[in-house]
Structure 1
Amino acid sequence: MINKLRQQIQYHNYRYYVLNKPEITDYQYDQLVIKLEHLEKNIHYLNKQTSPTQYVGDILLNNNKKIKHKVPMLSLNNTFKVKHFYKNFFAPLLPLNIMKEKNFFCCELKFDGMAINLLYKNGILIHGITRGNGYFGDNITNNILCIKDIPKRLQGNNIPKIIEIRGEIFISKQNFNFLNKQYLMINKQFANTRSAVVGLLRLHNKNKYLKLLNFFCYGVGYIENFLNKSHIELLYILKSYGIPVAQYIHTYKNFQDIIKFYRFFKRNRYKLPYHIDGIVIKINNLYIQQKLGNSTKAPKWAIAYKFPSQEQNSILKKVYFKVGRTGIITPIAFFETIKILGVNISYATLYNINEIFRLDLRIGDTIVVQRCGDVIPKIIHVIKINRTNSNTSPINIPVLCPSCNSKLYKNINNILYCSAGYKCKAQFINYIKHFISTEAMNINYIGTKLIEKLVNNNLIFSAIDLFQLNKKKLLKINIGEQNIKKILLSLYNFKEISFSKFLFALGIKDIGITTANNIAKHFQTLEIFLSSNVADLLKISGIGKKTANNILFFIKDKNNIDYIKMLTKKINIIYNKNNNIYNNFFYQKNVVITGTFFIIQRSKLIDKLKLLNANIFNYISSNIDYLIVGTNPGKKIIQAKNNQISILYEKNIIKILSL
Structure 2
Amino acid sequence: MEKKNIKFYIIRLINILYKVYKLFCYKKKIIKLRKIITNYNYRYYILNNSDILDYQYDKLLIKLVKLENLYPYLKNKYSPTQLVGSKYKSFIFFKKKNHKIPMLSLNNVFSEYDLFKNFFSPIKKIIHKSNFCCELKFDGIAINLLYKNGYLVSAITRGDGFFGENITQNILQIKNIPHILKGKNLPKNLEIRGEIFITKKNFKILNQKQLNKTKLFSNTRSATLGILKLNKNINTKILNLLNFFSYGIGFIDKNFFLSQQEILKKLKHYGIPICNHTKIYSSYYKIINFYKYYKKNRHLLPYNIDGIVIKINNIKQQNIFGHTNRAPKWAIAYKFPSQEKLTLLKKVTFQIGRTGILTPIANFHTVNINGVNISFATLYNINEIKRLDLKIGDNIVIQRCGDVIPKITNVIINKHSIKKRKNILIPKICPSCNSILKKKKNNILYCTSELFCKSQLKAYLKHFISKNAINISFIGEKLIDKLVDKNLIKSSVDLLNLNIFTLSKVDYLGNKSIKKILKFLKKKQKITFSRFLFSLGIPEVGIVTSNIISFFFKTLEDFLNTNITKLQNITNIGKKTSLNILNYIKKKHNINIIQNLLKKIDIIYSKKISEKNFFYQKKIVITGKLKFITRHNLVNQLMILGAIINTNISKKTNILILGINPSSKLLKASKFNIKIINENKVISLLNKISNFEKY
Measured against the shorter chain, the TM-score band is: 0.7 to 0.9
Which of 120, 123, 129 is equivalent to 1:100? 129
Distance change >3 Å, CA 302–CA 336, structure 1 → 2: same
What's the CA shift for 1:406? Answer: 1.9
1:167-199 residue CA offsets vs partner (Å, 9 max, x unmatched)? 334445555567667769989554333334444
> What's 1:447 paired with?
476
Which of 47, 54, 58 is equivalent to 1:19? 47
1:61-94 residue CA offsets vs partner (Å, 9 max, x unmatched)? 5534555445443221111122322232222222
> What's 2:525 paired with?
494
> What's 1:86 paired with?
116
The one-letter code matched in structure 2 to 1:110 is: K
Query: Is residue 308–residue 335 contact of structure 2 (8 Å, CA) maintained in 1?
Result: yes
> What's 2:603 paired with?
572
1:197-243 residue CA offsets vs partner (Å, 9 max, x unmatched)? 44455555337566655544323334555342422233234344554
CA distance in structure 1 between the aligned counterparts of 2:616 and 2:410, rounded to whole angstroms: 46
Counting only pairs closer than 5 Å after superposition, residues 134-173 of structure 1 correspond to structure 2 as 134-138=161-165, 149-150=176-177, 163-173=190-200
> What's 1:236 paired with?
265
1:598-633 residue CA offsets vs partner (Å, 9 max, x unmatched)? 4x3311212333555366567999x9965533xxx3
CA distance in structure 1 between the aligned counterparts of 2:389 and 2:403, rounded to whole angstroms: 25
Query: Is residue 116–residue 168 contact of structure 1 (8 Å, CA) maintained in 2?
Result: yes
Distance change >3 Å, CA 319–CA 562, structure 1 → 2: same
Distance change >3 Å, CA 341–CA 510, structure 1 → 2: same
- SS of aligned partner of 1:434: helix
CA distance in structure 1 between the aligned counterparts of 2:70 and 2:95, rounded to whole angstroms: 39
1:282-336 residue CA offsets vs partner (Å, 9 max, x unmatched)? 1112343345443332222211011223333333322211222222222222222
The one-letter code matched in structure 2 to 1:578 is: I
> What's 1:480 paired with?
510
The one-letter code matched in structure 2 to 1:191 is: S
Residue 284 of structure 1 pairs with residue 313 of structure 2: yes
Q: Which of structures 1 and 2 has the bigger CA Rg? A: 2
Which of 571, 577, 594 is equivalent to 2:624? 594
CA distance in structure 2 between the aligned counterparts of 1:648 and 1:550, rounded to whole angstroms: 37
Residue 52 of structure 1 pairs with residue 80 of structure 2: yes
**How much identity, in percent, do the aligned residues show?**
50
Query: Is residue 248–residue 264 contact of structure 2 (8 Å, CA) maintained in 1?
Result: yes
1:421-466 residue CA offsets vs partner (Å, 9 max, x unmatched)? 3322112222222333344444433322122223223343333443
Counting only pairs closer than 5 Å after superposition, residues 348-427 of structure 1 correspond to structure 2 as 348-385=377-414, 387=416, 393-427=422-456
CA distance in structure 1 between the aligned counterparts of 2:188 and 2:580, rounded to whole angstroms: 57
Counting only pairs closer than 5 Å after superposition, residues 258-269 of structure 1 correspond to structure 2 as 258-269=287-298
CA distance in structure 1 between the aligned counterparts of 2:473 and 2:445, rounded to whole angstroms: 33
CA distance in structure 1 between the aligned counterparts of 2:610 and 2:262, rounded to whole angstroms: 50
Distance change >3 Å, CA 651–CA 105, structure 1 → 2: closer
What's the CA shift for 1:503? Answer: 4.9
Query: Is residue 317–residue 335 contact of structure 1 (8 Å, CA) maintained in 2?
Result: yes
CA distance in structure 2 between the aligned counterparts of 1:513 and 1:61, rounded to whole angstroms: 51
Query: Is residue 105–residue 283 contact of structure 1 (8 Å, CA) maintained in 2?
Result: yes
Query: Is residue 461–residue 480 contact of structure 2 (8 Å, CA) maintained in 1?
Result: yes
> What's 1:220 paired with?
249
1:259-281 residue CA offsets vs partner (Å, 9 max, x unmatched)? 23223333443454543321110
Query: Is residue 648–residue 665 contact of structure 2 (8 Å, CA) maintained in 1?
Result: no
Counting only pairs closer than 5 Å after superposition, residues 248-647 of structure 1 correspond to structure 2 as 248-385=277-414, 387=416, 393-478=422-507, 479-488=509-518, 490-491=520-521, 492=523, 494-497=525-528, 499=530, 501-513=531-543, 527=558, 531=562, 533=564, 537=568, 540=571, 543=574, 550=580, 553-554=583-584, 570-572=601-603, 574-575=605-606, 577-581=608-612, 584=614, 588=618, 591-598=621-628, 600-610=629-639, 611-613=641-643, 627-629=657-659, 633-634=660-661
Distance change >3 Å, CA 120–CA 560, structure 1 → 2: farther
Gaps of 5+ in 2: 1-27, 688-693
CA distance in structure 2 between the aligned counterparts of 1:531 and 1:184, rounded to whole angstroms: 45
CA distance in structure 1 between the aligned counterparts of 2:100 and 2:573, rounded to whole angstroms: 46
The one-letter code matched in structure 2 to 1:580 is: E
The one-letter code matched in structure 2 to 1:497 is: T
Query: Is residue 404–residue 425 contact of structure 1 (8 Å, CA) maintained in 2?
Result: yes
What's the CA shift for 1:342? Answer: 2.2
Distance change >3 Å, CA 324–CA 71, structure 1 → 2: farther
Distance change >3 Å, CA 533–CA 260, structure 1 → 2: same
What's the CA shift for 1:145? Answer: 6.5
The one-letter code matched in structure 1 to 2:338 is: S
The one-letter code matched in structure 2 to 1:195 is: S
The one-letter code matched in structure 1 to 2:328 is: P
CA distance in structure 2 between the aligned counterparts of 1:296 and 1:414, rounded to whole angstroms: 54
CA distance in structure 2 between the aligned counterparts of 1:616 and 1:190, rounded to whole angstroms: 31
Distance change >3 Å, CA 498–CA 114, structure 1 → 2: farther
The one-letter code matched in structure 2 to 1:302 is: A
CA distance in structure 1 between the aligned counterparts of 2:103 and 2:212, rounded to whole angstroms: 38
The one-letter code matched in structure 2 to 1:355 is: E
Query: Is residue 529–residue 550 contact of structure 2 (8 Å, CA) maintained in 1?
Result: no
* RMSD of aligned alpha carbons: 4.3
1:538-596 residue CA offsets vs partner (Å, 9 max, x unmatched)? 985595x6666555655665655665666667352645842425x51686476544224
Residue 76 of structure 1 pairs with residue 106 of structure 2: yes
Q: Which moved more, 1:254-263 or 1:607-616?
A: 607-616
> What's 2:221 paired with?
194
What's the CA shift for 1:512? Answer: 4.8
CA distance in structure 2 between the aligned counterparts of 1:283 and 1:428, rounded to whole angstroms: 62
Distance change >3 Å, CA 45–CA 650, structure 1 → 2: closer
Query: Is residue 184–residue 413 contact of structure 1 (8 Å, CA) maintained in 2?
Result: no
CA distance in structure 2 between the aligned counterparts of 1:425 and 1:378, rounded to whole angstroms: 27
- SS of aligned partner of 1:495: strand
CA distance in structure 1 between the aligned counterparts of 2:637 and 2:582, rounded to whole angstroms: 28
Query: Is residue 532–residue 603 contact of structure 2 (8 Å, CA) maintained in 1?
Result: no
CA distance in structure 1 between the aligned counterparts of 2:468 and 2:480, rounded to whole angstroms: 17
CA distance in structure 2 between the aligned counterparts of 1:525 and 1:160, rounded to whole angstroms: 73
Give the alignment's TM-score, normalised by structure 1: 0.82
CA distance in structure 2 between the aligned counterparts of 1:185 and 1:455, rounded to whole angstroms: 46
CA distance in structure 2 between the aligned counterparts of 1:490 and 1:127, rounded to whole angstroms: 74
Query: Is residue 329–residue 352 contact of structure 1 (8 Å, CA) maintained in 2?
Result: yes
The one-letter code matched in structure 2 to 1:131 is: R
Query: Is residue 592–residue 624 contact of structure 1 (8 Å, CA) maintained in 2?
Result: no
CA distance in structure 2 between the aligned counterparts of 1:316 and 1:360, rounded to whole angstroms: 13
Counting only pairs closer than 5 Å after superposition, residues 122-137 of structure 1 correspond to structure 2 as 129-137=156-164
> What's 1:38 paired with?
66
1:14-38 residue CA offsets vs partner (Å, 9 max, x unmatched)? 3223333322221110111122223
CA distance in structure 2 between the aligned counterparts of 1:376 and 1:507, rounded to whole angstroms: 24
Query: Is residue 262–residue 279 contact of structure 1 (8 Å, CA) maintained in 2?
Result: yes
- SS of aligned partner of 2:414: helix
